[in-house]
Amino acid sequence: MNIIFAGTPDFSIPTLKALIASDHNVCAVYTQPDRPAGRGRKVQQSPIKQFALEQSIPVEQPLNFKTQESLDTLTAYKADVMIVVAYGIILPETVLSTPRFGCINIHASLLPHWRGAAPIQRAILSGDNETGVTLMQMDKGLDTGDMLAKVTCPIMPQDTSSTLHNKLSILGSDTLINLLVDIENGNAQPTPQPTSEVSYAHKLSKQEAMVNWNKPAADVQRAIQGYNPWPVAHTLIHGKPLRIWQATITAEAANDKPGQIKIQGSQLFVACSDYHIEVIELQPANKRRMAASDYLAAHQINELVLG
């Protein structure tokens, strides 16, 4: 089949790689326009654009699909199907109906759970035991299309959003290659999503990643893992931000005030509402990530309460 691929972040790359390695032809890649990023605000290409150019695949970057020119360009590719993975641009119905078999989205959740922008993070933050990928026929709603394939993936106790992201991106690409055979042969079986089990994965914000030490240690631990790698769980020490990248729950009950630091040798513990957590890796303001033991060796810390 003649396939258009639409994606933007790293999560999309394994699927594009799998399509290139398949018997199908990737005739074009659509990705978001180049934008300023980083401290220097330099204009950067998306990870998908960089990869597509390395593979000599034509790249299209419309701001949206409201112009006739953008629609004419899309139509000219004569695609059998468009595969959409974390593209980040809403597709109007004119686009959804342009390819012969429409547009298929790989969504990183078990729909209808966690529709929306941050399904991986919300699954971890909510303490879900499993997640997965759902391949769906896109319609005009927000992740509401009929399901074409669904595969589960356990969420392990040590999983962060980063590690789970990597697992699901590979799982989605493998599932898609198998699904394309059924689509091409007319054997795909769309299944409507149940309306009684819908939940939404709202976009993340930096503000919500501030650690609330008054919560149980399990909730704090999920926040540290769920906000890794962005926006990163953080607290205040001496009035300055302190990012927490990795921690573990201890079996020691916390009788101290929530947020109270306790230092034992080269180990850094913080009290939650029920138990202590041990901070394993952290990042002071304007510094690199480091082990908590290295931080303690370089900083004189008196007993204090994190903000």
DSSP structure string for 252-273: EE--SPTTBEEEETTEEEEE-S
pTM: 0.93
In a domain, 305, yes or no: no
Provide the pLDDT for residue 302: 63
**193 and 263 share a domain?**
no
* 186 and 216 both lie in a single domain: no
Domain enclosing residue 78, as ranges: 2-201
Based on the domain organization, do 167 and 101 belong to the same domain? yes
Where helices occur in the chain by DSSP H, the ranges are: 13-21, 47-54, 68-76, 93-96, 119-125, 161-185, 217-226, 292-298
Give the separation between CA 208 and CA 223, rounded to whole angstroms: 9
Last residue of a domain, one of 184, 201, 218: 201
Q: Are 85 and 136 in contact (CB under 8 A)?
A: no
**5 membership: H or E segment, kind and range:** strand 2-7
Question: Per the domain annotation, does 304 fall within a domain?
Answer: no
- Single out the residue in 161, 186, 201 at which a domain terminates: 201
Q: Which residue has the tokens 């639409």?
A: 6
Measured between alpha carbons, how far is 255 from 303 in angstroms, rounded to an integer?
15
CATH number at 260 reads: 3.10.25.10
Total domains, the chain: 2
Does 102 lie in the same domain as 53?
A: yes
98/154 same-domain check: yes
pLDDT tens, residue order, the chain (307 aa): 999 999 999 999 999 999 999 999 999 999 999 998 877 888 999 999 999 999 999 999 999 999 999 999 999 999 999 999 999 999 999 999 999 999 999 999 999 999 999 999 999 999 999 999 999 999 999 999 999 999 999 999 999 999 999 999 999 999 999 999 999 999 999 999 999 999 999 999 999 999 999 999 999 999 999 999 999 999 999 889 999 999 999 998 999 999 999 999 999 999 999 999 999 999 999 999 999 999 999 887 765 778 7
pLDDT of residue 37: 80
Say if residue 123 is in the same domain as residue 244. Answer: no
Specify the pLDDT at position 303.
57
Flag whether 303 is in a domain.
no
Regarding whether 242 and 145 lie in a shared domain, the answer is: no
In a domain, 248, yes or no: yes
128 sits in which H/E element: none
CATH number at residue 61: 3.40.50.170
In a domain, 28, yes or no: yes
Say if residue 6 is in the same domain as residue 25.
yes
Asked whether residue 55 is assigned to any structural domain, the reply reads yes
Residue 181 lies in a domain: yes
Write down which residue in 174, 201, 228 finishes a domain: 201
Same domain assignment for residues 98 and 213: no
Task: Establish if 286 belongs to a structural domain.
Answer: yes
